[in-house]
Amino acid sequence: MRIATWNINSIRHRLALLRRVVRALDPDVLCLQETKVEDGLFPEAACRAMGFDHLVFHGQKAYHGVAVLSRIPIAAHEILSWGGNSDARHVMATLDTGLEIHNVYVPAGGDVPDPETNPKFAHKLRFLEEITAWFAERTVPTAGAVLVGDLNIAPLEHDVWSHKQLLDVVSHTSVEVAKLGRLQRTQAWVDAVRRFVPADRKLYSWWSYRARDWAASDRGRRLDHVWVTPTLTSAVVAAAAERRVRGWTRASDHVPVWVDFAPGPA
């Protein structure tokens, strides 16, 4: 079973690219963030035509939005919100196998890493605090859980192009990294991708549109993650961030990240 996550940056704008990604990666479950579409306009028929008969989506006009596209039946789902806003940023889908999938889009947080002067950064911190408190009280199902999404934090030194230069830049500040660490400890979540790419190697999933030549400058950050609960760790057999997708026509600034599971969790 392959589970992939991707900040698509508008599903309707990048529907052709979505088809190409699906053909290339062949995921069983694809979690999307920043779909930027109201539920009534979500392209259900197009997603079903790609082989995803089971859909859960929660969106709003022009901003945010999350969706789970699955070839495996979804038995139940829940929409959750954090940080005092009703933004479409977290959907939980439980497969009929019992595996729980959390698709999360953490707020970016604006440009200034000061909650006193930047309401967007304050909202990001509240979001992380509230979702952490919720997971801390939650009992994971026997089948395990997977948390994926654009978490908008690059926690490790080699998750960014320059650790020193980005220490005071939103997404890599010590306060964000600490809060993400607390979230990770709630269920002893395992960073699945870093099991295959050692922490001392550079790994990115996002490159800014502002770069004249993103590939040449290679000033990326790893903002997109796949975490699994400990009982699933041994079932994870492969993982990668699909850097090549960043160079495709009409690319998102994020690339898909995927994890393969041996038979068992689904």
37 Cβ contact partners less than 8 Å away, ≥ 6 residues apart: 10, 11, 12, 43, 59, 61, 65
Which tokens is 99 given?
């595996």
Which among 71, 68, 51 is positioned nearest to 59, based on CA atoms? 68
Q: Which positions of the chain have pLDDT values less than 50?
A: 265-266
What CATH number corresponds to the domain at position 117? 3.60.10.10
In a domain, 128, yes or no: yes
What is the residue range of 216's domain? 2-261
Provide the domain count of the chain.
1
In a domain, 123, yes or no: yes
Model pTM score:
0.97
By three-state DSSP, how is residue 213 classified? coil
CA distance 172 to 194: 17
Which secondary-structure segment (H or E) carries 224? strand 224-228
Predicted pLDDT at 150: 98
Predicted pLDDT at 265: 42
- Contact between 227 and 31 under an 8 Å Cβ cutoff? The reply is no
**Ordered DSSP codes for 61-107:** SSS--EEEEESSPEEEEEEE--TT---S-EEEEEETTS-EEEEEE--
In a domain, 147, yes or no: yes
Radius of gyration from C-alpha coordinates of the chain: 17
In a domain, 266, yes or no: no
CA distance 169 to 223: 13
